[in-house]
Chains A and B, each alone.
Chain A
Amino acid sequence: MSREDRERMGRAGGSGNRKVRRGPRRFTISMQKRLVVVFLMVLTAFILLAFRLILIQRDNGRTYTMQVLSQQEYNNKSLPYKRGRITDAKGTVLADSQLVYNVIIDASQIMEKDEYLEPSLNAAERLGINKEELRAYITKHPGSQYYIAFKNLPYQDKRAFDKEVEEGIEAEQEAQRKAVEEAEKAGKEASEAEKVELVYSNIKGIWFEDNYIRNYPCSTLAADVIGFTVGNNIGSFGLEEYYDDTLNGVPGRTYGYLDESLNIEQTTIQPTDGNNLVLTLDANIQSICEKYLKEFNEELKDHKHKGNGSNNAACIIMDIDTGGILAMASEPGFDLNNPYDIAAVAGMPKLNEKDAPTTSYMTEGDAQALSDADRSRYLNALWSNYCVSAHYEPGSTAKPFTTAMGLETGTLKKSDKFQCNGTLLVDGTYINCAHLEGDGLLDISGAIERSCNVALMQEAMKIGPETFCKYQNVFNFGLKTNIDLAGEARTDDYLYQAEDMADIDLASNSFGQNFEATMIQMASGYCSLINGGYYYQPHIVDRITSPGGSTVQINSPRILKKTISEETSDLIREYCIQAVEGEHATGKLARPAGYRIGGKTGTAETLPRGNGQYVVSFLGFAPADDPQICIYVVLDRINNKKQDEAGRACILARKILTEVLPYMNIYMTEPLTDEERLELEELGLYDTNKPSSEEEETGDAQ
């Protein structure tokens, strides 16, 4: 028996317990019961925990599963690609993506040692990060390894920073090495050498992540045509939207995975950059157009009412023999680098609930006060490209088309003559000519020269609805031109079908009322009237090149159809020249100094009739003898008491052509008057000291 046993027995005896036991104390029934209580408590705890597990699964299973998967994504980092560049025909960059950097802070590295903190924070401050905010973040999240502290740091800034740090570290290492050398000279241990104060070497936990931002160097130039990007890589409007897939590349990826022997393999798939667009558009021609559109807008701004010079002022210049767009401009424009600037909306007509323009106009205050939904309606109206997205009644610019179809089908003859008494009774309605006094007896050429509605109506009656509608289709009215721009309007609902075309419809259609077309339809069709009947698909991208610069695809000019014969085309060209040069010509004002051109004016009443609102235009070609370009200027509801002034469109066309033709190296063929010479001198287009050979000739002739 052990000592303790004996002691215990003694004590047990001493406490008056009479039951002297031989063996050690037993584990009693009550204790066993209490053990069962313990077991039940444990069992209850486990059951509750099992319920807790089931609840977590039931309530959060889905979100947690998604969370786990999304974290996998996070571990696999996506590398950005560079979206393709857009350049004009001469190589001017209109849109490109610039490499910038996001500054990433690894708090865990900075917090590793106390001496890292200040130098790192100071370095971060130099990168434009708020030092105290960063300090607060780091102290609060010392384990964080990925915190984007600054976005879109320019490349130069990053390079300057890298260089400074690199040189700083080198200098510090050099200083430390010298200190050690000196200490050794003095016979001391290297460890006793004076410690150089480390600043650059203690910069930790700052690194850079590539990123690209879209940049538009010419900001407002051709804004409607180019479009912009949302979130950097989603194209919105214009080329950015139409060629979104071409411009976008494939993002790269780095990811770690476990191989068979469970080693971690880091693999990087490099991103593929997007392809570039080279346009047929010429930034110089474009900026000439925009300059004069803007000038016009400024001139008539707040003229009759508060607001822009017109609801829309637009100009297309096309290569007549390829269908390539040389310029496509419209006012009001916007800044591609800041497309959401609502101030640009001021001056636009207010929109009704169907997004159609009304006769009241936005002030700057109105623009700022727009609700979010309205804001996007107005911005969409601003961003949309008037030249392809808007349709309207073209007016008298349609007259060459009517004449062409008559001549082409033989229903009209060159020698046909029509009498105009100022008005014509059709289906019991008198339809007036522009000249109520009557144009008298006109031949076909004269009808176009004077823009006589009555003559054209009689022509259309001879042509008949069947042929008329067929030829509208031939000229691509009602069909999309499929120009490579986003947002081209459908116009098939705004055309008559032959079977439900009444005489009055045919009559009004003959001079461009009562059906609607887009600017690009008019311009493309007109090119075919002038160039011998070849309908080219209008296009704005000349070719697509790879990121390395090699050509991937060429958009060579595509003839879609032959609209009219060479002979008819020759006639139409002649008539249109007459409509600018003739004695009674409506388009006289459009002729630029030193050139002969052809063209047709248009003055279209808008709906409802008689509201005094007009769309005026000039659709022409230049030069007259060897047509190279087609120009179409449209002024939608001029801010003027009297809106039906096609002359304004002609003047605009003249101003644009005066600069564009010399720029395109098209030589002047006509003598200049003194007035014209002065005008050109003012523009810097006529050098008195060094006159061109042609001007010398004309000078001699005078």
Chain B
Amino acid sequence: MFGKKSNTTKNRKSKKAPSALARKKSGLNDYSLLFIVLVLLAFGLVLLYSTSSYIGAVEQNDSAYYLKRQLVFTVLGLGLMALISIIPYRWWRYLSIPGFLGAVGLIILVIPYGREVNGAKRWLDLAPGVSIQPSEMAKVAIIVLTAFIIELIGRRRLQTVWGFLLPMVPSGIIAVMLWKITNNMSSALIILAISFGMLFVACPDYKRFIALAAMGVAGCIGLVTYIVRTADQNNMGFRGGRVLVWLDPQAYADDTGYQTLQALYAIGSGGIFGKGLGQSMQKIVVPEAQNDMIFSIICEELGLFGAISIMVLFVLLIWRFILVAGNAVDLYGALIVTGVITHISVQSVLNIAVVTNTIPNTGVTLPFISYGGSSLFFLLAEIGMVMGVSRKSIKAEEEYAQQMKGS
């Protein structure tokens, strides 16, 4: 048994993670991961300042208003990240159920105490000027809890119907609550996607996922067709309207298609190298330029080059996560990392897809770059957990290496 274990470890060492070994002497932290995160954060702060200075000056009388707030959350978030990374991650298992209940409680608290912004009640005020989005916290809670449940159920039993459905239950509950209470379908979808992604990685077969994916695609096509067919009956909610806008933004240029169209104008006017940092004209026009639509301003200011650079950074980050997951010493750690991977990749892909009008408009922020304290804070907490997993695997490698020496 030991032999087998060492074999697999060796195998992984030589093939998949040479870099992890190379850093053996330099401490327990995953510096490549940290470096990518810091670059993304720095990039994000510079771009946030560029896009938000106008609206900050107009609305808050301080062009650096958004930058300052984001900076505070960045510093706090980095502190939290450092703290979390040194706490043994297996402890989170004990916190997973209280965390989940806490998230549910916070979402319920939105009903009486929530603050409305742009027509959606999604924020909870903690103190004057400090508010959180329970949905962001829920994402972390779901990652921790789903990983715990999958680990409990075990691989074999995941293949049974109940074993398959059980890990989806908490995320299902949260998703329905987010959708119904905060009217936030995008967060609900992301939370479902997180647990679904974790399930996909943990499950031994592909068939059911392929079947589910096919059903999902068919369902989407059916829904879009239905909405288009019944378009003139005017009885669908704003989501149906968004599908129509997605199909033909020009037709709704003055109202519901305005944001999408202006974002497209920004992207189209950027060219290959963009107009230069701070030179965007559209940041005055695009609604939520510093928020959901920041990517369009990046395209305008830094061009295709800058936009694709950001995408490459995300791909590198996710590749780093994959290595950490692969090196994880246990299933729980690997699943947490998988959850973080799904969260960040789904959210960044959705955001860019929305901005480029590849999918219908839905409010998703671009991780690490969009303005938003809660989002950044909890994202950095997730990074902290990944770094904790990485730290443990580095430690294990070192111990193993010493054992080998010793024997």
Contact = CB atoms under 8 A, between A and B. Distances in A.
B308 A53 contact: yes
B334 interface: yes
A32 B304 CA distance: 33
B156 A56 contact: no
B66 interface: no
Nearest to A47: B311
A142 interface: yes
B349 A45 contact: yes
A31 interface: yes
Interface string A17-61: 101000111111111101110110011011011101110110011
B16 interface: yes
A4 B151 CA distance: 10
A548 to B, nearest CB: 38
Assign chain A's interface to a size class.
35 or more
B57 interface: yes
Nearest to B352: A49
B330 A32 contact: no
Contacts of B335: 27
A226 to B, nearest CB: 41
Interface string A54-98: 101100110111011101100100000000000000000000000
A30 to B, nearest CB: 6
Interface string B218-260: 0000000000000000000000000000000000001100100
A25 B315 CA distance: 28
B268 A61 contact: yes
A68 B281 contact: yes
B54 A258 contact: yes
Contacts of A54: 304
A622 to B, nearest CB: 66
A150 B329 CA distance: 73
A35 B322 contact: yes
Contacts of A264: 57-58
Interface in B256-270: 258, 264-270
A34 B282 contact: no
B151 A50 contact: no
Given A75-B284, A144-B254, A261-B63, A27 B325 contact: yes
A49 B255 contact: no
17 contacts: A8-B154, A15-B157, A17-B156, A24-B151, A24-B330, A28-B155, A32-B16, A32-B325, A38-B322, A39-B341, A46-B314, A49-B356, A53-B356, A57-B270, A63-B268, A141-B254, A258-B57
A104 B254 CA distance: 15
A27 B255 contact: no
A609 interface: no
B267 A53 contact: yes
Interface string A138-164: 001111100000000000000000000
B349 A42 contact: yes
B257 to A, nearest CB: 11
Contacts of A43: 315
- Per CB-CB distance, the 4 closest pairs between chain A and chain B, nearest first, are A64-B268, A27-B334, A24-B330, A262-B63
B264 A31 contact: no
Contacts of A24: 90, 151, 329-332
Contacts of A15: 154, 156-157
A429 interface: no
A263 interface: yes
A26 B265 contact: no
A694 B21 CA distance: 128
